Amino acid sequence: MNDEEINKVADELERVVDDENVPANVRDSLEEALEYLRDDGRDPSERAASAINVLNDVSNDPNLPTHTRTVIWNVSGELETATTE
């Protein structure tokens, strides 16, 4: 996974964070995932793995809107695919 791919995923998560229909606790968790993704001091695979852990936890939130859960699953899938290449 390269920085360009990470930035693309981070942009997708940023759109979810900006959605006021998403519960505040979920937005906070997504901000944490974004911090991992944007940590230039770490290897891209390491950044992706850390973000995946956060996204997996937040995707189980029962208050998560369905469309948001789908976006989170898609982003997680992109990160997982990229880390295994």
Residue 38 binned pLDDT confidence (cut-offs 50, 70, 90): very high
According to DSSP, residue 2 is labeled -
**pLDDT greater than 80 at residue 25:** yes
pTM of the model: 0.89
pLDDT for 9-20, tens place per residue? 999 999 999 999
**pLDDT greater than 90 at residue 37:** yes
Q: Which of 10-14, 43-47, 57-61, 81-85 has the lowest mean pLDDT?
A: 81-85
Cβ 10 vs Cβ 69: under 8 Å = no
Residue 85 binned pLDDT confidence (cut-offs 50, 70, 90): low
Please report which residue ranges of the chain form alpha helices under DSSP H.
3-17, 24-37, 44-58, 66-84
For tokens 């789908």, the residue is 70
